[in-house]
């Protein structure tokens, strides 16, 4: 425990010492060099992953020559640096994140889109911003479950979260593509995580963030596997329900393959979204269910 606390203290000090001086750099880039401001967080989060001791094992790549809606499963606050290290991205975040001390500043510097889903008009405004950003060439990350899981399952996707882009499948915007990213935390200190161990990394239910983050920093180096799906033109999806269904199936298949050590195995058949929906009330604690998104 003493060694774990020492490690956590050293990692936290290194993170703050690295991050705080760079925050005004990104703020300046946002004003004078928008293209550089898109790329800088990608470099920054690669360094953060090294500080945290996170090793990324990546299968596939986010396309660089088209605007991308990157649909992902959500397990932990670690997803933010992990996905940001994958490619230059911005996140769709719930409005409350904009009020979190320090975290809100980092989110704004990364040009996150904040959504107040309690107000229909505000949701519509956020949808318009997401579409504008996609048309400008950005890669936007959407955690389609609407909350985080324990890492052992993929929760049912919320079709309402795809409303922002459901009207984008138009001939005038053929360049927008959809990709999936299945994120699974597989090892701690080189030891494979079991089904019982994996929730120690997941941040879900009513977990308090500070104590959870401290425990994760104490645990040691972490390996995460990311399977990035092939790009599919947004115009090929009929509507938001079709988009949600097909991306959920793809992520379920990829997560199952990683968990079973059989990535890309066509013989794996994940639980269908409709079946999972019927079981979700028993799956996870629902108190304070929505995290980053």
Could you tell me if residue 114 is inside a domain?
Answer: yes
Do 198 and 76 touch, CB atoms closer than 8 A? no
The answer to whether residue 289 is domain-embedded is no
pLDDT digit string (tens) for 241-267? 899 999 999 999 999 999 887 766 666
Question: 86 near 226, Cβ under 8 Å?
Answer: yes
Domain assignment present for residue 265? The answer is: yes
Residue 110 counted as domain residue: yes
For 201-252, give the DSSP string: T---TT--HHHHHHHHHHH--EEEEEEEPPPEEGGGS-SHHHHHHHHHHHHH
More reliable by pLDDT, 18 or 285: 18
How far is 181 from 183, CA to CA, in rounded Å? 6
Average of pLDDT values for 20-35?
A: 96
Q: Is residue 290 part of a domain?
A: no
User: Is residue 13 in some structural domain?
Assistant: yes
pLDDT bin (cut points 50, 70, 90) of residue 281 is: very low
Query: Which positions ≥6 away from 282 have C-beta within 8 Å?
Result: none
- CA-to-CA distance for 260 and 271, rounded, in angstroms? 14
Domain that includes residue 167, residue range: 2-283
In a domain, 95, yes or no: yes
- Residue closest to 75 by CA, chosen among 179, 181, 165: 181
Q: Does 260 map to a domain?
A: yes
For the chain, what is the domain count?
A: 1
pLDDT (0 to 100) of residue 271: 64
Q: For the whole model, what pTM was predicted?
A: 0.87
CATH code of the domain containing 200: 3.40.1130
User: Given a cut of 50, is residue 289 above it in pLDDT?
Assistant: no
Confidence of residue 48 (pLDDT cuts 50, 70, 90): very high
């Amino acid at each position: 425990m003493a060694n774990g606390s020492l490690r956590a203290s050293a990692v936290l000090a290194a993170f703050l010492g690295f991050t705080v001086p760079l925050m005004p750099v990104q703020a300046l880039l946002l004003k004078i060099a928008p293209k550089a401001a898109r790329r800088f967080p990608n470099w920054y989060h690669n360094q953060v992953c090294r500080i945290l001791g996170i090793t990324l094992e990546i299968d596939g790549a986010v396309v660089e020559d088209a605007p991308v809606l990157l649909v992902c499963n959500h397990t932990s606050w670690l997803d933010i640096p992990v996905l940001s290290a994958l490619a230059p991205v911005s996140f769709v975040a719930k409005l409350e994140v904009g009020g979190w001390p320090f975290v809100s500043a980092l989110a704004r510097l990364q040009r996150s889109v904040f959504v107040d889903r309690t107000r229909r008009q505000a949701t519509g405004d956020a949808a318009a911003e997401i579409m504008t950003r996609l048309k400008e060439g950005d890669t936007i990350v959407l955690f389609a479950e609407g909350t985080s899981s324990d890492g052992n399952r993929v929760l049912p996707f919320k079709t309402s979260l795809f409303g922002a882009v459901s009207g984008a499948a138009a001939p005038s915007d053929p360049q927008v593509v959809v990709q999936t990213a299945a994120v699974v935390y597989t090892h701690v200190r080189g030891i494979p995580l079991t089904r019982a161990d994996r929730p120690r990394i997941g941040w879900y239910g009513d977990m308090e963030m500070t104590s959870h983050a401290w425990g994760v920093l104490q645990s040691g180096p972490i390996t995460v596997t990311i399977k990035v799906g092939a790009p599919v033109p947004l115009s090929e999806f009929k509507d938001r329900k079709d988009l949600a269904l097909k991306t959920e199936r793809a992520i379920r298949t990829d997560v199952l393959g990683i968990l079973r050590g059989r990535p890309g195995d066509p013989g794996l058949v994940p639980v269908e979204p409709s079946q999972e929906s019927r079981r979700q009330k028993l799956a996870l604690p629902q108190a304070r269910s929505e995290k980053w998104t």
